[in-house]
């Protein structure tokens, strides 16, 4: 099953600078070969269900390996049965609706 997720991995007990932990997670996503886009408060990832969730697990392992004693994650999950729609398609659809004068 094709899935699109919004992933936010937060290491706890490591101080306030999270960039090294986010970078470690990004490396796992890139190694998995999944389509993704880093945002200011999370990362959009899409692909086959098992590959995406294996990647989420790899992100947790990588963050723990850097010394984070605890990891708190929020994950939004989106699936469709009628068609495969990428997160970029969804953004483009909203932007196109906005240019037509529609309120979001």
What residues does each domain of the chain span? 2-99
DSSP H or E run through 56? helix 49-65
For the domain made up of 2-99, give the CATH fold: Alpha-Beta Plaits (3.30.70)
Sheet holding 70-78, edge to edge: 35-39, 42-48, 2-12, 70-78
Strands of the chain, DSSP E = 2-12, 35-39, 42-48, 70-78
pLDDT at position 29: 97
- Is residue 66 within 8 Å of residue 21, measured between CB atoms? yes
Q: For residue range 27-69, what is the model confidence (pLDDT) as tens digits?
A: 999 999 999 999 999 999 999 999 999 999 999 999 999 999 9
What is residue 65's three-state secondary structure?
helix
Residue that wins the pLDDT comparison between 104 and 3: 3
Question: What does the pLDDT read at residue 93?
Answer: 83
pTM of the prediction? 0.85
pLDDT 10s digits, 86-104: 888 888 888 889 886 555 4
Residue 60 pLDDT: 97
pLDDT at 103: 53
**21 near 63, Cβ under 8 Å?**
yes
Burial, 79: exposed, middle or buried (Cβ in 10 Å; 0-12, 13-18, 19+)? Answer: exposed
């Amino acid at each position: 099953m094709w899935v699109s997720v919004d992933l936010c991995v937060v290491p706890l007990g490591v101080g306030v600078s999270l960039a090294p932990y986010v970078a470690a997670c990004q490396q796992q996503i890139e190694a998995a070969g999944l389509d993704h886009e880093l945002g200011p408060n999370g990362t959009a990832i899409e692909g086959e269900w098992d590959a995406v969730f294996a990647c989420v697990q790899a992100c947790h392992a990588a963050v723990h390996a850097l010394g984070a004693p605890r990891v708190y994650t929020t994950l939004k999950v989106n699936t469709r049965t009628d068609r495969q729609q990428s997160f970029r398609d969804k953004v483009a659809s909203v932007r196109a609706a906005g240019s037509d004068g529609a309120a979001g």
